Amino acid sequence: MSLILAIAEFMKQPLHFFLGFLDDGWVGPQVLSHHLLLMMTSDLYDKSYGNPRLESRNCPAQTSLLYEKFFLGSQWRDECVNDKLKRSAIAYRRCLHD
């Protein structure tokens, strides 16, 4: 996904979200975890990696860190996230071996 598309996707969020707040709660670490997990599993849903079986980048459970929305303090690394991390080929990316 290009940087411009990523920014456009983020613009759906209210401004205070970019500052790390959801209502009155600080969600900076939760947002960072969510986006790091998306990057670490991007080969599972991005066509440019040549994956013939594309899947959703999110997990269905609201308690998952990879759920499409944020819920302050109630999302964790669940079995769906673990499964995606196990199947991801991030460890084999050449850019990580330099």
Model confidence pLDDT, tens digit, residues 15-72: 445 557 777 777 788 888 999 999 899 888 877 766 666 788 899 999 999 999 888 8
Give alpha helix (H) positions in the chain.
Answer: 3-10, 15-18, 28-40, 79-87
Nearest residue to 77 (alpha-carbon basis) of 61, 88, 64: 64
With beta carbons less than 8 A apart as the criterion, state whether 84 and 98 touch.
Answer: no
**Alpha carbon 72 to chain centroid, angstroms:** 16
CB 36 within 8 A of CB 76: no
pLDDT at 11: 54
Indicate whether this model's pTM tops 0.75: no
Q: In this predicted structure, what is the pLDDT of residue 31?
A: 85
The stretch 7-17 carries a mean pLDDT of 53
